[in-house]
Chains A and B, each alone.
Chain A
Amino acid sequence: MDAVDVFIENRSCLDMDIYQLWLDGEIEEICRLPFLTVQLDDTPSSKQILASYVADQVRTFHLLEKWLHSPAELADQPVFQLTDSCRTYLLEKYYTFDRQFMREILGRKFNKFRRKDFEDECRKTGVKLDSCYRQYENMRRVWKSVSAMDGCTMKNIHETFLLPDQLARDYSCVLFLSAYRMEMASVNLTKLPFDYFVSCAAEMMKGWTCTTQPSGPKGVSETLQANSEGASDLRIDKDFFYSMKEFRFLLERDAFESFRRAIGRNVPIQAALPGNPEIFRDSVRTMLTLALNVHHSKQFRLLFADITDKLLPAWKNAAWRNEDAVAFLNGFIISAEELNEFKSRDARLAGMWKRFFAVFNACVLRLFRTDEKPTVEFVIGQTS
């Protein structure tokens, strides 16, 4: 005969410490109960009482889980009487993910995985298998419900899953990177933490996707404006990438030379920049090539890898500091606009140039600054 041991309350009283352990998949930890042994002096407690207390809580969380999967229903469910703050807290904790684990699965397609498929990540990050699975399933769930929506993904997540802004932003960035299956496994990238990619993705979503509002008075393409209605910021503005091909003229010999010289003039501390003109020239050429080829989806996928493999090693070899990089990248943007070849062409080129390289340079800088206290933010709008 099984023993029955149940405790029911009218107001649900949830122990968030146990909740956290449960989320972390620390089943053994819960059973060992070391955290509960610190008690009020005169509270009667015994192993049995604690065990039934914990069992009750865990069962409650199991029952709650199905509503945590569809947060909108959590508010309406009649079974547990929860207050708003408690609900928010439950959701936030449930959808919080381990950044290290998320870094591991970044850029992966959201296929159906089984629990044991995460054994590698589990070993590498120290996150428990159950927790890995839950985090992955969370991400997949968010992807499923949000990917088809229009508009700002972060807002969509915030509204659908009632998550705090910061968490929603992280989710939208991960979704973006995964949507384009960005290459994350290259040798130079593996060392970079999750947050770097999140901020890169945030920049891209701000600048390169269909929702991007035309900035500046110079006007942007008509198609862009048409697209900005009802478009998701999970979708790259393809037309914009295609039109980047128009900058091919900069690779022509004359234009390239004058461009390079212009940069030389515009980088104020050029003399102090370590390294030789070759680095300078190669960098410019690489950046232009990347920009021109970005419309190939394969090239776009490799963007991070290309930056770290082709662009940054030379800078690092020359021991550039952050300021050097900022100065160079700023100079890069300004100089192009001064070129006669540039001015003689379509007026909207300048807008496109800025739109592309503002984001691109931010990413480069983000990936370059590996040491790091956060330094001065790279703000292109002010320097130009």
Chain B
Amino acid sequence: MIKTLERLEQDDINQAPYALWWKELRAEICRLMRSVGCNAVYGYSEELSLTDDGNIQLLCASGTAAVLDVDLTKERDGEGPESTWNAVMPRENLRKESSVLHYPEALGQTPDCKIFHIPSGEYSDHVAPTSAMCGSCRIGHVPDILLTTVEVPDGTPIRGTGTFIQAKVQRKTKALKGESGARELSETLPFVEFELHSQINTKLKLLGLNAVFNLRVDIQCGAETVVACATGTGVFIVALPKSLRPTVSDGRKPGLETVDMQAKLDALMDQQMRQLGLGEEKEGEVKAGKSMRTTRPTMVKKKKAATGSRQYSKSGFVIDLEDDGFEGQSVFSLMDFLPPKDTLLFGSEICPMADRMKSLRSSENVAAGSNRFPGSIVQNICRIWRTSLMNDQDEMIDVAATFRHLLNDVVFRARVYRPCRICGLEFRMQISPGDSLLLLLQGSIVTEPLPLYGVLRGTTEVRRIMRHAGSRAGLSGAEDANETVPVIRILPEDSFTQETAPKDSLHPKPPASMASRCRIHPSPRATPIFSHLSQPQTTQHVEISSLSFVHTGTVKRYVGNLNLVVLRECQTLRENDGLSGFMQRALADFYAIVRSQTVAAGGNAVLSFQLAQVQLADSYNQAQCIMHASGDMVELEEAVSAGSLES
């Protein structure tokens, strides 16, 4: 659903038929929606990107096609994989008061699998080439992979924890100028899209997941480059078939190398899946259907195969990887970055993860005492990174490495908040003249009051799911079991926590002590270091969150819309620590303005805060930048205990 429109030497920019173009695009979307048998598009968004000189515009629209029930209160089903950015419709409005997905078991509902079924009817020939029986109800048909632009709907039957999925593609093209440039671009785009899809597909397979929510695609073109990036949250939906393990095989002869590589791949996958809570199924779990295992798709890895192409075959699919370089490099480079324990990454606002606090409370009936848990902290982060796309030899640098580096960096910065999750991760790209790539990474770090892994005493269900992680802690849990005090004990699995923490400190600790676990600050003089994050302050604190909901407290009222554009200029770059110093100063001030404006409007928090655009131009000793941000200014009512939220 991407359309390239070009505008050649238009005298007046304002006369360009933008409205017409968008209309055309929307019509196209509608057509596609109907072609997959749906009657609505959800999670729809439009984006525009310009090339260098601004005479080629790239208009993108994406959404999720869905089937709405006629009475508009309950959805019947939705769907459509591959061919479009697809389909699914939430049963009701998303419950955004909670950032954690409610698992169906927790809601006391039977998992609703209907929304994942392929719409039946005359259009079924358009939909997925492969489909299977629904894993929950065994009645409907489901696609084997689902890509959607919406948040994870409540009650989705999900197992394990979701994770951040990202695909990046870069292409060097001929100079994108004039009409020929536009044609060049439109010829390139399908391949870029295809590559994105296949990357996502492979990554899902490697992680053992089968759906992506909140998929966002950003395509930017420079003078001679196209860079595309897709991000989302990958999850495992029980209704959808289990993704099948890729197997390594050599087209010609089975050899030791193949076996070796297969072993390596398996080990890596096992480890990743274990971390996501997708270990081998236990009894009592819904079987994903034995029947489906019979058709086992294989990922065939041909050495020195011709090109990176992929075709469907009856037995599954084949990925030909050009692999004349280092052994196994290609496959492993597709392995997505999996964050360390105690830090979870999500592309979506709603995090598909078990609400441990809730399961803890419901199992122990200690809702009254829940105030002992420290509230979570939301930390808005914004990372700006600019680098040249071309290296000295005029070749494109590896963008994927840059993305990975940035993710690593954010995880590193978030270490003081551990255990935490980073949600709403969003990458925005901007290609500026001279083919430099400006990356804007935004997200919110939300601290978790409880360790993400390890055993919670008395929560059998959680323990079963988390057993893989807490084997050592399980022992000490048994020792503790004879205590009669109705106190929640959290047994961290990390051995170093145990050795530093005597029995008493097994209680949930405020983030301060969690910070001290980061052995970076072992010295006692460093006591107040990061503890200030949870402490009150006398001056008014303004919370900024990129999420559209709050974690602690409730919204009392909305006080206004925030829309702020700031242009900042600097004539003395060198005295200001260079470009980075200038940007840091500019952004810090920008945040300060946002906060002040919020306070002036009578609010104390900004929700849905998005730094929509940052543009930076510099030459010699001066620089200019434009920053644009939007959000909702709200007044929060703090001190609503987690316990009352519960009820």
Binding site for B on A (CB under 8 A): 1-11, 13-17, 35-36, 38-40, 42-46, 48-49, 52-53, 55-56, 59-60, 62-63, 75-76, 78-86, 88-89
Contacts and interface: CB of A to CB of B under 8 A. Distances in A.
B11 to A, nearest CB: 33
Contacts of B415: 40, 43
Nearest to B587: A8
B639 to A, nearest CB: 17
Contact of A85 (B380, B408, B531): B531
Contacts of B544: 10
The 3 nearest A-B residue pairs measured at CB: A42-B340, A86-B532, A4-B386
Given A3-B387, A6-B584, 20 more contacts: A3-B385, A3-B388, A4-B438, A5-B385, A7-B382, A11-B533, A16-B526, A17-B526, A42-B341, A43-B415, A43-B518, A44-B411, A45-B412, A59-B584, A75-B538, A82-B532, A83-B537, A85-B532, A89-B528, A89-B532
B538 A43 contact: no
Given A1-B388, A4-B616, A8-B588, A43 B412 contact: yes
25 contacts: A4-B438, A4-B579, A4-B616, A6-B383, A6-B384, A6-B584, A10-B378, A10-B379, A10-B543, A11-B377, A11-B379, A17-B526, A38-B520, A40-B340, A43-B411, A49-B405, A52-B409, A59-B581, A62-B577, A63-B584, A75-B539, A81-B542, A83-B533, A85-B528, A89-B528
Contact of A4 (B377, B380, B385, B521): B385
B301 interface: no
A1 B529 contact: no
B585 interface: yes
Nearest to A44: B408
Contacts of A88: 528
B102 interface: no
A48 B592 CA distance: 28
B580 interface: yes
B416 interface: yes
B58 interface: no
Contacts of B411: 43-44
Interface in B513-533: 517-521, 523, 526, 528-533
Among B341, B405, B529, max chain A CB count under 10 A is at B529
A40 B496 CA distance: 10
A81 B532 CA distance: 10
Interface in B482-537: 517-521, 523, 526, 528-533, 535-537
Given A38-B520, A43-B412, A83 B532 contact: yes
Contacts of B585: 63
Nearest to A88: B528
Contacts of B616: 4
B591 A17 contact: no
Contact of A2 (B382, B528, B578, B584): B578
Contacts of B250: none
Contacts of B529: 14-17
A88 B527 CA distance: 13
Contacts of A46: 405, 408
B381 A9 contact: yes
B225 to A, nearest CB: 15
B510 to A, nearest CB: 13
B77 to A, nearest CB: 41
Nearest to B595: A78
Contacts of B405: 46, 48-49
Given A40-B518, A59-B577, A75-B539, A9 B380 contact: yes
Contacts of B416: 13
Contacts of B385: 3-6
A16 B515 CA distance: 13
Contacts of A38: 519-520
